[in-house]
Amino acid sequence: MAKCKNCSSQVEDNATVCAVCGQINPIKSKKVKTVDLTTKFEHDIINRGNYKQSSRKVAVLLFFLLGFTGAAYFYLKDIYRGFISLLGTIVIMGAAFLLYAFVLKNELIIIIIAALIIFAVNIVLGIYYLTHNELKDGQGEFLV
């Protein structure tokens, strides 16, 4: 039930006259005026600090050229994967250098194989990021 705009008594929702005070059209109309808040601010203030989407092409180039550093993941704002990638490179290359120094003396091929494995993994990751459109960056935004 609604209230009369004159005496605030209860009236039917479809009443045309208030039974208590006799007010014609007693129900308060609830017209709400909306305001576009973006017109109240300067465009510079609105755009400042907005999130900028990451580029798929830049990420792929970083995988191809600097994948061993985790630079592509850092660019995509996925810090956790960036550190894991960097740590993986350090572990693989460290193991290769230890094998070179202590086990397979003067067999430089082990270091070359380790570097090629890291390079191949990053090429595959770059191709994956290039061909899959549903991938998102660390902020949950789709790549452009």
Q: Tell me the per-residue pLDDT of 92-112, one tens digit each, with 9 for 90 and over.
A: 999 999 998 888 877 888 899
Whole-number pLDDT of residue 133: 87
Residue 122 CB neighbours (<10 A):
23
* Backbone dihedral angles phi then psi of residue 66, each to the nearest 5 degrees: -125, 30
DSSP bridge partners of 2: 11
Read off the pLDDT of residues 30-67 as tens digits, 9 standing for 90 and up.
Answer: 666 776 666 666 555 545 556 678 889 999 999 999 99
Residue of 24, 4, 6, 7 whose CA lies nearest to 16: 24
Mean pLDDT of 73-78: 93
Mean pLDDT of 15-44: 71
3-state secondary structure the chain: CEEECCCCCEECCCCCECCCCCCECCECCCCCCCCCHHHHCCHHHHHCCCCCCCCHHHHHHHHHHHHHHCHHHHHCCCHHHHHHHHHHHHHHHHHHHHHHHHHCCCCCHHHHHHHHHHHHHHHHHHHHHHHCCCCECCCCCECC
Q: How far apart are CA 116 and CA 88, in angstroms?
A: 14
